[in-house]
């Protein structure tokens, strides 16, 4: 199934996930390292008085950050349509939309905005840091889980994030929204965790729908 970008933007709601697959050497390296068909993920924020937004992390600074109004690298909040077009036309990526069911409620949107306020502008890690962090993310850390439990379930770890990549940003935001259980380190997540071939283990009745390929108009 595929839909146009206009249709996808119209359908998108807060909490929906956008995943991307490219063919460049860095894209292939991420896919190979994480054993995933995709190399980038972002989350939609759709608020009443604004156009749909994309919450993600990237190395580029081609678009203005809608939270600060500046061009920056790292964790960013972009106009969703503009961000998808950049990833498709400039970076050569294919795009898919996965919709969150049931839709996010007001409390979840407020939690997502608090996460934006906390993480926006966090630097993107280097390629070497990415590989090391993904490797470490597969190793259980019982002390970290115990610290989280002793803190009453508060995800202490994200307050100490000095750098963040795309999957960490979405995972930390999902956890703040109550969609992911507390206890996992952010670096346990990679873009492939948000592809349907993996079990993301959302809480309660929450689930992500199947991938809908999005047709991007040429530049």
Structure confidence by residue, pLDDT tens digits, 19-40: 999 876 566 666 566 666 888 9
- Report CA 118 to chain centroid distance, whole Å: 15
Structure tokens at 36: 């995933």
CATH number at residue 37: 3.90.1720.10
196 or 18, higher pLDDT:
18
Report the interhelical angle of 166-176 vs 106-119 (nearest 10°): 140
Instruction: Give the contacts of 59 (CB within 8 A, at least 6 positions apart).
Output: 73, 124
Domain count across the chain: 1
Peptide linkage before 102 cis (omega within 30 of 0): yes
102: exposed, middle or buried (C-beta count within 10 Å: 0-12, 13-18, 19+)? Answer: exposed
Structure tokens at 45: 């924020």
What's the mean per-residue pLDDT of the chain?
A: 84
Report the candidate in 132, 125, 143, 134 with the shortest Cα–Cα distance to residue 188: 134
End-to-end CA distance of the chain: 23
Q: What is the model's pTM? A: 0.84
Structure tokens at 94: 């294919």
The boundaries of the domain holding residue 127 are 2-215
SS3 154: coil
Span 72-96, pLDDT tens digits: 999 999 999 999 999 999 999 999 9
């Amino acid at each position: 199934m595929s839909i146009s970008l206009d249709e996808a933007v119209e359908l998108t709601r807060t909490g929906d996930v956008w995943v991307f697959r490219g063919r460049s050497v860095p894209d292939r390296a991420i896919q190979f390292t994480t054993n995933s068909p995709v190399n980038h993920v972002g989350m939609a924020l759709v608020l009443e008085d604004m156009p749909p937004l994309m919450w993600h992390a990237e190395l580029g600074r081609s678009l203005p950050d809608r939270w600060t109004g500046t061009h920056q690298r790292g964790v960013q909040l972009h106009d969703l349509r503009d961000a998808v077009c950049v990833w498709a036309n400039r970076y050569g990526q294919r795009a898919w939309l996965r919709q969150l069911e049931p839709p996010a409620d007001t409390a979840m949107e407020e939690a997502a905005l608090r996460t934006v306020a906390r993480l926006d502008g966090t630097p993107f890690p280097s390629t070497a840091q990415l590989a090391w962090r993904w490797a470490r993310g597969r190793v259980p850390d019982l002390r970290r889980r115990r610290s989280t439990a002793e803190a009453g379930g508060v995800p202490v770890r994200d307050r100490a994030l000095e750098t963040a990549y795309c999957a960490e940003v979405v995972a930390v935001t999902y956890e703040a929204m109550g969609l992911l259980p507390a206890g996992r380190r952010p670096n346990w997540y990679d873009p492939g965790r948000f592809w349907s071939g993996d079990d993301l283990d959302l809480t309660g009745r929450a689930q992500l729908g199947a991938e809908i390929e999005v047709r991007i108009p040429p530049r």
